[in-house]
Structure 1
């Protein structure tokens, strides 16, 4: 029987500290599943990228470097087709919230502060590797779909519960990037943040009525409306599935709150008026949920609380009671909602194992 050798994950590490580069190269190469290339500056990294026959699978970037900082480099990488979706992990000593916000807004997938735990880095890289595999499978599926039927609708089909990615909207993160952002905030003990959910009240009816591409366009326009309302304050947004968007703000009385519903709906209507077939969309804003938690799982549960808050408002709003009853009362837990709970429990277990090395050794 032929041996199947797992393909190594090709990593480019960029840092101006030789000791960090040596540590990364030695430690990750020793795991046997990574092939690490290093660069001591952005210029060096660019030259390295240009020499490659195939793109790297993952990039580790320092923020503070003498020529160009890692955040700027991350933003430039996202403009390159081959690196639009490549996992980028920031490895930096900068723990200020401003740097975290700017890094994720520039397209970072994850953020790890120095001095970092090699076990934690391995865990983050493992998550990045799974993301690479999922993207590869998605690409293969699209290629198969095109071969079977060259129709856009086939390629764009998704379920209502799916937390699909929304591209090219400022401060809108993917599902995994958003969770990493929230966890990084909690690790930095930045407890003055709040999660607010926005729901398309008639999402189920629109999904049933529209084609996949038309519904995706609605989601894109709603994301653009939320972004326009909050991006001046640097707040991050993510689509979670079931017509629900989440935003993280750093003050309770930010621009996104139930009293801002009218303004938000006006912005959305203006954006949607560009389309020939305008859709009537009703947006509901939930009460903010405090993320004042000591642990990472507490922050993840705050996201669930924000989703529950907006679902409760959808049911209680008298102006949406005219919608079909199955639209108003249908409150099934989306796959994204269930994943939040599972991720929270996994985070509790991870913290427990980290705090009690004996448990980790007994479990292996």
Structure 2
């Protein structure tokens, strides 16, 4: 009988948890245009979202404060009197329970300046008016998936007992780097790039920065030290790009991406040297008992007429830094082979290096987006 009760209790808990995860998305839409608000309420209700509306930033904050149950998602217009959507987004992000909540900017403002400001303020996605309702439904469904993933993570975390040793996250996990302005999470960064592609911004470039020997560092360091190292790298990148306002994101595997509107003024070697100097300073301030350095790849133009093309260009930037790390490993290994009794002659080693140079030259000639522009 006790076993049956235990099974029933376990089943009931699972059903209850599944029910919580599948609850309707509670959405707060904020716009000073009442026609837009009514349109959103009608459309999103038809899509089975639980929609609440507010006609100003101040009223939205009052609703958030008085809500019996937290909202899951926000739709914000940018152009509003007194408190615009970007200011409201910043205020929402200051509230602890909304630091991870999806915030979609639904606005007629498509200028790059507003796109940058919105994502830096904490926006998850950006939809321009006039919007297509099927596209809006798709974006809202993506937001719903984010909410469900967060609920699952919170449910899993609640079941863990306190005092348990922190588990090391996988190297390829694109963990969030919190507390640094202009550092976007993975999902927000992809949405940012896709929004830029709609503006046909051909003078935007990306460069990848990679923690050297990331796999060894990940294995050697504690989770706290490795995450602290990633935080130091992100701080170094944003600190050196205050004037240009570059957007940064961590992509996993020790790789960061940095996007700049315009060409990178410094060359690869200069940027790498400056980043490593700054990183060393951060590590010294923390009294870190280890050393680390980063590798900088060539900048890649993000010019594209499609969203997928822009994301492919981002991947090329990552490939460029990984290729450079591979070449550097080969160059560092060559002297060791010579000292230990090389299996190849010095002339053969020289031929191998020239072959690498030829491969790189051919690659950059065939793929103009891999060259500095």
State the TM bucket, normalised to the shorter chain: 0.7 to 0.9
Counterpart check, 1:9 vs 2:22: no
Partner of 1:206: 217
Q: Provide, for residues 47-67 of structure 1, a one-character-per-residue CA deviation record: whole Å limited to 9, x for no partner.
A: 111220121000000011011
In 2: Cα distance, 1:17 partner to 1:262 partner? 51
Q: Is contact 2:37-2:53 (8 Å) kept?
A: yes
When normalised by structure 1's length, the TM-score is: 0.83
Partner of 1:150: 163
1:103-182 equivalences in 2 (<5 Å): 103-145=118-160, 147=161, 150-154=163-167, 157-182=168-193
1:54-93 equivalences in 2 (<5 Å): 54-93=69-108
In 2: Cα distance, 1:318 partner to 1:36 partner? 55
Q: Is contact 1:201-1:283 (8 Å) kept?
A: yes
* Local SS of the residue matching 2:193: helix
Q: Provide, for residues 79-114 of structure 1, a one-character-per-residue CA deviation record: whole Å limited to 9, x for no partner.
A: 110111110000111111010001000100000111
Unaligned stretches of 5+ residues in structure 2: 1-14, 337-373
* Local SS of the residue matching 2:166: helix
In 1: Cα distance, 2:331 partner to 2:240 partner? 23
In 2: Cα distance, 1:175 partner to 1:101 partner? 15
Q: Provide, for residues 240-259 of structure 1, a one-character-per-residue CA deviation record: whole Å limited to 9, x for no partner.
A: 01100011111122458443
Q: Is contact 1:203-1:243 (8 Å) kept?
A: yes
Alpha-carbon shift at residue 116 of structure 1 (Å): 0.7
Q: Provide, for residues 215-235 of structure 1, a one-character-per-residue CA deviation record: whole Å limited to 9, x for no partner.
A: 111111111111111233121
In 2: Cα distance, 1:119 partner to 1:179 partner? 20
Alpha-carbon shift at residue 151 of structure 1 (Å): 3.1
1:221-232 equivalences in 2 (<5 Å): 221-232=232-243
Unaligned stretches of 5+ residues in structure 1: 326-364
Alpha-carbon shift at residue 31 of structure 1 (Å): 1.5
Counterpart check, 1:29 vs 2:45: yes
Partner of 1:189: 200
In 2: Cα distance, 1:206 partner to 1:283 partner? 12
Q: Provide, for residues 321-346 of structure 1, a one-character-per-residue CA deviation record: whole Å limited to 9, x for no partner.
A: 259x9xxxxxxxxxxxxxxxxxxxxx
In 1: Cα distance, 2:267 partner to 2:247 partner? 12
Partner of 1:218: 229
In 2: Cα distance, 1:257 partner to 1:100 partner? 27
Q: Is contact 2:279-2:293 (8 Å) kept?
A: no
1:306-345 equivalences in 2 (<5 Å): 306-317=317-328, 321=332
Partner of 1:295: 306
Distance verdict in 2 for CA 1:190–1:316, change over 3 Å: same
Q: Is contact 1:238-1:245 (8 Å) kept?
A: yes
Partner of 1:46: 61
Q: After the TM superposition, which of the residue ranges 63-72 and 225-234 deviates more from structure 2?
A: 225-234
> RMSD of the TM alignment (CA)?
2.1
Task: Decide which of 227, 236, 240 is 2:251's aligned counterpart.
Answer: 240
In 2: Cα distance, 1:97 partner to 1:272 partner? 35
The structure number with the bigger radius of gyration is: 2
In 1: Cα distance, 2:100 partner to 2:198 partner? 25
In 1: Cα distance, 2:213 partner to 2:182 partner? 24
